[in-house]
C-alpha cells in the first residue's frame, strides 16, 4: 500500500513538472533563504541559464546588482503580500541585461515557505505583433514589386530585341558598341528585377542539421575575409535537433546576413581595427514564432562589432531597396527575410554602435529526425 502511494505521489509530481515545463510563462521558485529550488524551461529560455548549473544558487548570484529587487522580494516574504513589477531590468551572470515583467507570490501554505516568481519578457507580445506586421507589409510590398517587375520586363525585352536588330543593320561595326551598351544595360536591369522579385519556388523541405548550413556559410565568408582584419568565431550548441528546411535556401539566407555583417565591418564608420563576427546556435523551448507556439526551435545568431544600423533604418531594413550603404542594393536582407518566412520562421534584429545582432528562429518539427533517417535510407537504396 505504501509503495502504491509513493508511486502515485511520484506520478503526480511528474505531471506537475510536465505542466510547468510546458508553460510559456517563466516560473522560478526560491526557498526561505532565496536560494533557487525550481526553474521551468520557459524561465531557463528567457534568462538563458541552466537550472542544473544554478540549483540552490542565491538570488543575488543569479540577478546581479539587483539589491532593490531583492529587498522588495524580502519585504513581500515578510509581509506575505504579492506584488508585480513592470519593465524590470535584470542583469544576468553573462552580463546580459533583459527587460521583464515579474510577479512575486509568497507561498506560506506549504510545509516550507517558498517564493514564487513568474517572469515574462516584456518584448514577448511586442515581438509577435511586430513580426506579424512585418510579414504582412513585406508580402504586400513583394506583390507590388512583382506587378511593377512585369511592367518593366516587357518593354525591356522590346528594347533589347530592337537593339539586336539594329546592330545587324548597322554598316559600321564600331557603331555596334552603342547597341551592345543598350543590350548589356537591358540585361542588367532584367537581372535586377529578377532579384527584386525573388524566387517563388517553395522550399524543398528535408530534415537537416542546422550546423551544416552555418558551417557552409562560415567557410564561404572566411575565403572572402582572408585579406581583411575580420575574424569569424563560433559558439554552437551540438544538442540542436534536426529542422525541416531547404538546405540551399537556408544557406542563402544566412549567407546574406553574415555578408551584411562583413560589409558593415568594412564601413568607414568602424572605429576599431579588429572586426569580429560571432556565429552562435541554440535550441529554445516553448517559443512563439509569429502567432504559432512551438515546443522547440533552433536559433542562429550573427553578431558583429561594427558601427551598428542607423536608428532611422532599423525598422525597415528587411524591405527591398532599403540599404545603409551607398553602393548597396537593399536586397540581401529582404531575400533572407522572405526565405525564413517561407520556412515558418522569423528574423529579429537589435543594434547599437559596436554590437549588431541578427537572430534567425526556425521551428523544430517533432518528426524531423525520423524523416531524416528515412531520407538517408532512401538515398542509400537509390
Q: What is the CA radius of gyration of the chain?
A: 27
Measured between alpha carbons, how far is 211 from 219 in angstroms, rounded to an integer? 12
pLDDT at 320 (0 to 100): 67
Measured between alpha carbons, how far is 364 from 381 in angstroms, rounded to an integer? 27
Assigned C-alpha cell, 238: 551540438
Which is more confident, 42 or 70?
70
Q: How confident is the model at residue 70 (pLDDT cuts 50, 70, 90)?
A: very high
Placement of cell 508511486 in the chain:
7
Lowest mean pLDDT among 51-55, 313-317, 340-344: 313-317
pLDDT in tens, 181-225: 888 888 888 877 776 666 567 888 899 999 999 999 999 999 888
Lowest mean pLDDT among 141-150, 161-170, 250-259: 141-150
pLDDT at 215 (0 to 100): 95
Assigned C-alpha cell, 302: 550573427
pLDDT at 43 over 80: yes
pLDDT at 374 over 50: no
Question: Structural domain boundaries of the chain?
Answer: 2-121, 128-197, 206-371
pLDDT in tens, 336-372: 888 888 898 888 888 888 889 999 999 997 765 544 5
pLDDT in tens, 214-265: 999 999 999 888 888 888 999 999 889 999 999 999 998 999 999 999 988 8
Q: Do 179 and 164 contact (CB within 8 A), yes or no?
A: yes
CATH class for domain 128-197?
Answer: mainly alpha
**Whole-structure pTM value:** 0.62
pLDDT at 68 (0 to 100): 92
The fold of the 206-371 domain, in CATH, is Heat Shock Protein 90 (3.30.565)
- Average pLDDT of the residues of the chain: 80
Q: Which CATH code for domain 2-121?
A: 3.30.450.20
pLDDT at 173 over 80: no
Share of the chain above pLDDT 70, in %: 77
Burial 367-380 (b: 16+ CB within 10 A, else e): ebeeebeeeeeeee
Amino acid at each position: 500500500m505504501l509503495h502504491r502511494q509513493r508511486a502515485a505521489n511520484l506520478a503526480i509530481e511528474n505531471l506537475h513538472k510536465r505542466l510547468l515545463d510546458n508553460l510559456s510563462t517563466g516560473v522560478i521558485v526560491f526557498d526561505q533563504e532565496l536560494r533557487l529550488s525550481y526553474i521551468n524551461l520557459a524561465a531557463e529560455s528567457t534568462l538563458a541559464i541552466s537550472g542544473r548549473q544554478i540549483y540552490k544558487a542565491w538570488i543575488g548570484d543569479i540577478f546581479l546588482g539587483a539589491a532593490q529587487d531583492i529587498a522588495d522580494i524580502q519585504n513581500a516574504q515578510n509581509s506575505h503580500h504579492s506584488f508585480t513589477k513592470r519593465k524590470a531590468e535584470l542583469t544576468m551572470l553573462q552580463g546580459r541585461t533583459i527587460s521583464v515583467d515579474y510577479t512575486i507570490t509568497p507561498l506560506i501554505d506549504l510545509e516550507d515557505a517558498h517564493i514564487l516568481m513568474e517572469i515574462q519578457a516584456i518584448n514577448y507580445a511586442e515581438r509577435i505583433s511586430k513580426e506579424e506586421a512585418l510579414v504582412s507589409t513585406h508580402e504586400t510590398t513583394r506583390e507590388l514589386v512583382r506587378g511593377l517587375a512585369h511592367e518593366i520586363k516587357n518593354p525591356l525585352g522590346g528594347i533589347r530585341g530592337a537593339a539586336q536588330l539594329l546592330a545587324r543593320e548597322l554598316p559600321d561595326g564600331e557603331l555596334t558598341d552603342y547597341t551592345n551598351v543598350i543590350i548589356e544595360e537591358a540585361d542588367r536591369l532584367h537581372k535586377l528585377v529578377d532579384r527584386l522579385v525573388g524566387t517563388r519556388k517553395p522550399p524543398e523541405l528535408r530534415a537537416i542539421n542546422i550546423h551544416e548550413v552555418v558551417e557552409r556559410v562560415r567557410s564561404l565568408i572566411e575565403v572572402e575575409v582572408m585579406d581583411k582584419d575580420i575574424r569569424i568565431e563560433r559558439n554552437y550548441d551540438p544538442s540542436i535537433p534536426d529542422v525541416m528546411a531547404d538546405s540551399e535556401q537556408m544557406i542563402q539566407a544566412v549567407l546574406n546576413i553574415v555578408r551584411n555583417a562583413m560589409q558593415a565591418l568594412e564601413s568607414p564608420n568602424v572605429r576599431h581595427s579588429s572586426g569580429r563576427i560571432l556565429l552562435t546556435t541554440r535550441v529554445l523551448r516553448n517559443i512563439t514564432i509569429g502567432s504559432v507556439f512551438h515546443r522547440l526551435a533552433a536559433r542562429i545568431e550573427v553578431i558583429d562589432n561594427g558601427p551598428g544600423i542607423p536608428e532611422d533604418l532599423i525598422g525597415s531594413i528587411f524591405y527591398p531597396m532599403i540599404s545603409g550603404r551607398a553602393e548597396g542594393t537593399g536586397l540581401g536582407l529582404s531575400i533572407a527575410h522572405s526565405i525564413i518566412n517561407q520556412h515558418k520562421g522569423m528574423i529579429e534584429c537589435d543594434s547599437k554602435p559596436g554590437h549588431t545582432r541578427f537572430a534567425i528562429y526556425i521551428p523544430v518539427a517533432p518528426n524531423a529526425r525520423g524523416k531524416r533517417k528515412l531520407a538517408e535510407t532512401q538515398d542509400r537504396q537509390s
